[in-house]
Chains A and B, each alone.
Chain A
Amino acid sequence: MMGRLRLLIMLALLLLLVACALDKSGYVPPEQHPVDAELPPKPPICIDCHEARDENINWAQFNHTIYFGENHRQQAYRQNRVCSMCHTPSFCSDCHATRIELKSSDKNPTQTYRRMPHRGDYLSRHRIDGRVDPSSCFRCHGNPKTAQNCTRCHG
């Protein structure tokens, strides 16, 4: 098994070397959102400054509307470099890491404006939500380590 893993890592390194050799990047988003256009703390609506889409990025899909907190996975799956222009990985890890004992709404209880899920009596509601759509539970609790919270009751 370890031999196979080594082979895989070498393959990954080889691919990286190919990319390194070719290195034809074209457009590269800046590492950070430009300081001279610093974003306000309020939820950013990207298209207030950017075109809805330019030849590189579809900015409209990153508008932080009232639904963005509960529905941003498609944007992150495809173009998370845009996310990282404003957010450090720790911002994502507070919710999406493999082992977080303190759920984000408990870690940041005063940040009510983020409308974080699992607030209030979610212990009761999750019985209903979980039966209606278990796929949404599985996204975050779908491996043995993250399912440790579930197995206390679900065996």
Chain B
Amino acid sequence: MTGVVNFFSSRWVCCALLTIMLFFPAGSSALTSNVELETILRGFARDVPVDGNSRVIPAYTYLKLDLKNITPTGISFHGYGWGRYDLADSGFYDSQGQGELLYGYLEYHKKFSSLRARLGRIHVFEGVANETLDGLWGAGKLSPRVSLSGYAGQPVGLSSTNDRSGDSLFGGRVAYDGGEKYLVGFSAKFSNNDGNTADRMIGTDLIYYLPKDMTLFGFSKFNTDESSFAEHSWELRIPFEPFDIKPYLQYYDYDSYFGTGDKAKLPFQNLAQSGESLAILGVDSFWRKSEELNLGAKLKLYSYDQNDSSQYIALVANLIGEERTQSGGELGYMRGEAANNNYLLLRLYTYQDQLPAKYWVSFVSADLVYALYDKKINSEDSSLFISLGAGKHVWNDALDLKLSGDYSIDPFYDSDLRVMLSASYSFGRGL
């Protein structure tokens, strides 16, 4: 329950709400709000240690809140978080109640401008950053071609180790748009955990336009602590209507990629001292046979400095119908010499939307995943997973009700059955 309390007492939530109240003009008629509430009830059985109940019945609530145009100057608030409580008190979880604020920030967005600023809990996904932080983020353009963004604060991902004292994160990205020729960006990210060095990454990203609508994309990341490149990821898109072919090359130096100082945790910590490197050469090919039928094939070749090589090859198909109706599958084979095992993977899925009114449900769904292992895992050489679901949209789609059941038999569970009921409600729509 402590987690739930922490969630609602999060100082960022309180700060954001207080600031909203301060900024909220009494007669603001332009204010628009969107509130979405999703409640999920799951049920499954697990062997739990010491005095536990084998039945686990977690109830989740996800709350999303968007308040736009809080002030005429373009202030808005966006928040999203979840809370969970195990109704069976099974002991399966570390604590019976848990929760997390995923993001919650005030945003300033100048109209008809690229200038934006956010304050609060923010997820930054740009350049070398894929981080959640409690702090400030801002972005704008210094000229029509030069854009700039920056952030500073405390990283949420490091908050679980020795509280947040000494944790810091800052970085940014500057990009130059070369019009119809190229776009190049330079980014950096520096973080500390408990006063010690964590991430020290700088990187560059590029889009370069080639003749015949071909495009070269990619980025490279450099670990300044290790003084070597951590990652190169480059791909070439070759459109050849109705085909699309994308060869790509990725390279990872384990010492630099996983060597993130005081941030690194098991099992990745060991990899950071392995001296290993991985190069992946792959091709994703795609045939849009018609608007309804897509076919594809993918190949990945993994080679290592020290380990043996591996390969993955797969065929994929997707049949698209009206609304969200889709059916398809993937048949793949992993020759995992590096992992000392191989597997054959078959996945089939369907989602049938807009069912006739004579049925009580609006949609049905099914998913099947079958894996056949070359070497037995826990005395089993295969696993089978089946999921069936159905749902109904009511009140002009304001309320979605969904029921699903999963069954699996695999190396870890003899016969596992899980059920889930969810209701998601969007306030302001329907009724």
Contacts and interface: CB of A to CB of B under 8 A. Distances in A.
Interface in A64-92: 65-67, 71, 74, 76-78, 80, 88-90, 92
A132 B336 contact: yes
Contacts of A18: 142
B60 A42 contact: no
Contact of B112 (A28, A132, A141): A28
A66 B412 CA distance: 30
Given A88-B66, A128-B343, A101 B125 contact: no
A98 B132 contact: yes
Interface string A124-137: 11011111111101
A39 interface: no
A49 interface: no
Contacts of A55: 179-180
B310 A132 contact: yes
Interface residues of A, number: 92
Interface residues of B, number: 151
B158 interface: yes
B289 to A, nearest CB: 12
Contact of B183 (A25, A67, A78, A115): A78
Contacts of B296: 65-67
Contacts, number: 350
Interface in B373-400: 373, 377, 383-385, 387, 389-391
A20 B159 CA distance: 32
Contact of B158 (A1, A40, A145): A145
A119 interface: yes
A55 to B, nearest CB: 6
Contact of A61 (B193, B217, B265): B217
B323 A41 contact: yes
A142 B130 CA distance: 10
B123 A25 contact: no
Contacts of B96: none
Interface string B399-416: 000101010101110000
B328 A66 contact: yes
A42 B323 CA distance: 6
B158 A144 contact: yes
Interface in A11-53: 11-13, 15-16, 18-20, 22-28, 31, 40-43, 45, 52-53
A124 B152 contact: no
Nearest to B205: A78
A131 B310 CA distance: 10
B351 A110 contact: yes
13 contacts: A4-B168, A12-B170, A19-B141, A25-B112, A42-B322, A61-B215, A90-B103, A133-B280, A134-B268, A134-B271, A141-B268, A147-B266, A155-B267
Given A66-B294, A89-B78, A111-B365, 9 more contacts: A1-B195, A19-B140, A43-B326, A61-B207, A66-B328, A96-B123, A130-B339, A142-B260, A145-B157
Q: Which 5 A-B pairs have the closest CB atoms?
A: A26-B144, A120-B369, A19-B140, A143-B157, A120-B385
